[in-house]
């Protein structure tokens, strides 16, 4: 699996988890607004992605690149995420680790502090 595919898979799983929909219903080329992703969901996912990739990302990433395919391609081409920097996506484990962590980085961590989750 290359970097783009790894990021796309991670995003599909994160969005499915965030929106409580089946990952099989998400197409990487469809606009994310089609699935009901709002600004809070987007910022939360970008924050989680910052933690996962250990990179600082624009909080508007999913609005500037409104499909999973475009966002993943941007991350590889412009941010320079390489296969070594991406791990096998495990959103359930990542979510559990986030819940156990007292403080996270980025917007996801801030949102967790605000929401108390």
pLDDT at 107: 56
DSSP letter at 65 equals S
pTM over 0.85: no
The average pLDDT across 66-77 equals 94
77: which DSSP letter? I
Bridge partners for 61 per DSSP? none
pLDDT surpassing 90 at residue 92? no
Distances (CA, A) of 52 to 6, 21, 34, 55: 12, 21, 25, 8
CB 38 within 8 A of CB 111: no
Looking at the chain, list the stretches that DSSP marks H as alpha helix, in order from N- to C-terminal side. 3-19, 39-53, 61-64, 68-74, 91-100, 106-115
**Average pLDDT of every residue of the chain:** 80
pLDDT of residue 30: 96
CA atoms within 13 A on the CB side of 6: 18
Question: How many residues appear in the chain?
Answer: 117
């Amino acid at each position: 699996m290359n970097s783009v595919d790894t990021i796309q898979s991670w995003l599909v799983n994160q969005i499915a988890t965030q929106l409580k929909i089946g990952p099989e219903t998400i197409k990487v080329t469809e606009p994310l607004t089609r699935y009901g992703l709002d600004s809070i969901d987007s910022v939360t996912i970008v924050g989680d992605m910052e933690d996962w990739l250990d990179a600082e990302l624009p909080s508007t990433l999913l609005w500037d690149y409104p499909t999973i395919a475009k966002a993943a391609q941007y991350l590889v081409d412009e941010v320079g995420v390489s296969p070594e920097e991406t791990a096998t996506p495990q959103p359930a484990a990542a979510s559990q680790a986030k819940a156990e962590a007292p403080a996270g980085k980025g917007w996801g961590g801030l949102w967790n502090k605000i929401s108390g989750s």
